[in-house]
Amino acid sequence: MEARGKQVVEDVYGKLIGQVVQDVAFAEENSGIRLSSGSIGIYRSVEPQVLHKLVGQSITKVHEIAGPYLEVLFSGGEALRIPYHPDPDAGVESFCLSVEGGPIVVG
């Protein structure tokens, strides 16, 4: 990823810090987390109880880890790991991050 693109992604990660999970949603094979001023769309199924316990918690850290995964840490100690699609050339996304007034990041 070029330096400018990496900076945009890091900026969005930073804007997610402190956001509080307001609600969660499920549709077919997708899941979603509504934040105080943003959202996380997850393009795979996640167990409902995993996401429901995040409601009311704030995001404390967003980063990429080996696997590769996007890891989102929450104030209650929970960690949500979203695996990147194994074949990025297939054009299938694993997640979408959006924050109010900022760009959308798709991984």
Its CATH class, for the domain covering 3-106, is: alpha beta
Give the bridge partners for 65, in sequence order: 69
* Model pLDDT for residues 27-58, shown as the tens digit of each residue: 988 899 999 999 999 988 889 999 999 999 99
* Model pLDDT for residues 85-103, shown as the tens digit of each residue: 755 555 578 899 999 887 7
Q: Where are the domains of the chain?
A: 3-106
Q: What is the DSSP string of 52-85?
A: HTTTT-BEEEEEEETTTEEEEEETTS-EEEEEPP
pTM of the model: 0.88
